[in-house]
Amino acid sequence: MGQPTRYRKSDGSRVSGGSSDNKPPTRLVTGGRRKEWTGAVVNPPIWRASTHLYDNVANLRAAKRSNEDGRFFYGRRGSPTQWALAEALTEMEPGACGTMLFPSGVAAIACALLAVLTPGDVLLMTDSSYDPTRSYADAFLKKWGVETRYYDPLVGAGIADLICEKTRAIMMESPGSLTFEVQDVPAICKIAKEREITTLLDNTWAAAHFFRGIEQGVDIAILAGTKYIVGHSDVMLGSVTTHDKYWARVRRTAQQLGQVVSPDDAYLALRGLRTLDVRLRQHEAGGLKVARWLAEQPRVARVLHPALPDCPGHDIWQRDFSGAAGLFSFVMDGGGEEAVAALIDDLALFGIGYSWGGYESLALPVDPTPDRTATSWDAEGPVIRLNIGLEDPDDLIADLAKGLERYEKAACRK
């Protein structure tokens, strides 16, 4: 759907300036709030529309010729509600050219990869990738003639040794959303640039707020807006924000694929975005308190939280990130599936379900083993992932303490 943020005319010139000189929390508040879209109120209305009407045939023809974003054309190109969201997302990424919106994070990843790859290419993808990203590469891209080779998420500058003549793109996810290895994104991007290879980053954990991909050298930054951008577990959304060089390609591919986000969903995402900074800071504080407590429990072997020293890539997190989200995993010392169920099933404050980034806490048993090919997953016991919501962390800790007692009993019964 054509909803770029820095609106450009067909000759590439900017229609509006941005507010990228302001600090990130300010940009979250001001981004996309153009008077021409909001009128006399604070937020853009929900423009529900398929047909956009023209005054006359000359205007209709002129709109087709100019092919501009941020202009009424047809429903699939969005309306001010979607344009405002896309513009706000671009404002979050200094150096970015524009943002396309998608009906889910997976749709955004699929389109971005499709836009930069052609049959015969080799794609390098992190072994810690979100499993549907992996399946898309292993099934769809493979059928389409693209070979995917997986790399160790801790490879850093060693990525140079994995590049061959046919390598066209590197797909990163940092940190990995199950095992939380933090990648050396700047080092990988530097090498990729020297070799003219496109870099893509699934930046959902940091939500473009605690880590700004484009600024760090990434060509294409992807978010599952479903998580922290929306923040309330009620909308599916994806976005692709690109550097100048890739904007036309990504925009064209998304339009050819007919991608569109409803104005209602765009409105909710925009509302979520305005409070992203305060929510993320609260998720960070709660997450750290729970993670540090877990690290002291005898049954817990390791806590995989980028801000804690046990997490692979912790030093890179310290160097590159300005904060930590509320999603992390912990590895149990012994025990098994039955004990995991005993811990999770009776938690009072944690839901059991996929996704994360919402205001409510979630607990999920995870098994990274089947999704590893370049590396292997060896752990002391089962892994549990927590989404720490906005509850008081002391209540979450009390709930988890009872869960750990249940784990202990179940593990000892075996």
Ligand X SMILES: Cc1ncc(COP(=O)(O)O)c(C=O)c1O
Judged by beta carbon, residue 119 or residue 132, the one nearer ligand X is: 132
At closest approach, how far in Å is the CB of 105 from ligand X? 2
Q: Does 104 bind ligand X (CB under 6 A)?
A: yes
- The one catalytic residue among 8, 77, 130, 267: 130
- Work out which of 31, 78, 98, 105 binds ligand X, going by CB under 6 A: 105
Query: Which residues, numbered 293-322, are part of the site for ligand X (CB under 6 A)?
Result: none
Q: To which H or E segment does residue 386 belong?
A: strand 383-387
Active site residue 264: no
Judged by beta carbon, residue 37 or residue 205, the one nearer ligand X is: 205
Among 33-41, 47-55, 101-109, 331-339, the segment contacting ligand X (CB under 6 A): 101-109
Query: Which residues, numbered 22-81, are part of the site for ligand X (CB under 6 A)?
Result: none
Alpha-carbon span 226 to 11, nearest angstrom: 33
Q: Does 275 bind ligand X (CB under 6 A)?
A: no
CA nearest 243: which of 219, 260, 208? 219
Give the contact letters, 106-135, x = binds to ligand X (CB under 6 A), - = no. Answer: x-----------------------x-----
- The one catalytic residue among 76, 166, 252, 402: 76
CA nearest 51: which of 34, 17, 75? 75
Q: Does 325 bind ligand X (CB under 6 A)?
A: no
Judged by beta carbon, residue 81 or residue 129, the one nearer ligand X is: 129
Judged by beta carbon, residue 28 or residue 261, the one nearer ligand X is: 261
- Work out which of 4, 80, 238, 358 binds ligand X, going by CB under 6 A: 238
**Strands across the sheet containing 122-126:** 98-102, 238-242, 220-224, 198-202, 167-173, 122-126, 147-151
At closest approach, how far in Å is the CB of 237 from ligand X? 7
Helix axis angle for 276-295 and 263-274, nearest 10°, is: 70
Q: Scan for tokens 């509006």, then name that residue.
A: 16
- Detail the DSSP E strand segments found in 89-237: 98-102, 122-126, 147-151, 167-173, 198-202, 220-224
Active site residue 227: yes
Among 30-38, 83-91, 100-108, 380-388, the segment contacting ligand X (CB under 6 A): 100-108
- Work out which of 114, 224, 270, 303 binds ligand X, going by CB under 6 A: 224
Instruction: Determine the residue with CB nearest ligand X.
Output: 105
- The one catalytic residue among 152, 184, 202, 219: 202
- The one catalytic residue among 77, 227, 274, 279: 227
| DSSP, residue by residue, 222-281 | EEETTTTTT-SS----EEEEE-HHHHHHHHHHHHHTT----HHHHHHHHHHHHTHHHHHH
Q: Does 204 bind ligand X (CB under 6 A)?
A: yes
Judged by beta carbon, residue 181 or residue 202, the one nearer ligand X is: 202
Alpha-carbon span 97 to 239, nearest angstrom: 13
At closest approach, how far in Å is the CB of 342 from ligand X? 25
Give the contact letters, 347-376, x = binds to ligand X (CB under 6 A), - = no. Answer: --------x---------------------
Active site residue 76: yes
According to the 3-state scheme, what is the secondary structure of 317-370?
HHHHCCCCCCEEEEEECCCCHHHHHHHHHCCCCCECCCCCCCCCCEEEEECCHH
Q: Scan for tokens 């072994």, then name that residue.
A: 127
Q: What one-letter code names the amino acid at 29?
A: V
- Give the three-state DSSP class for 17: coil
CA nearest 302: which of 363, 381, 362? 381
- Give the three-state DSSP class for 201: strand
Active site residue 320: no
CA nearest 214: which of 97, 127, 59? 97
Q: Does 177 bind ligand X (CB under 6 A)?
A: yes
At closest approach, how far in Å is the CB of 130 from ligand X? 4
Site residues, ligand X (CB under 6 A): 104-106, 130, 173, 177, 202, 204, 224, 226, 236, 238, 355
Active site residues: 76, 130, 202, 227
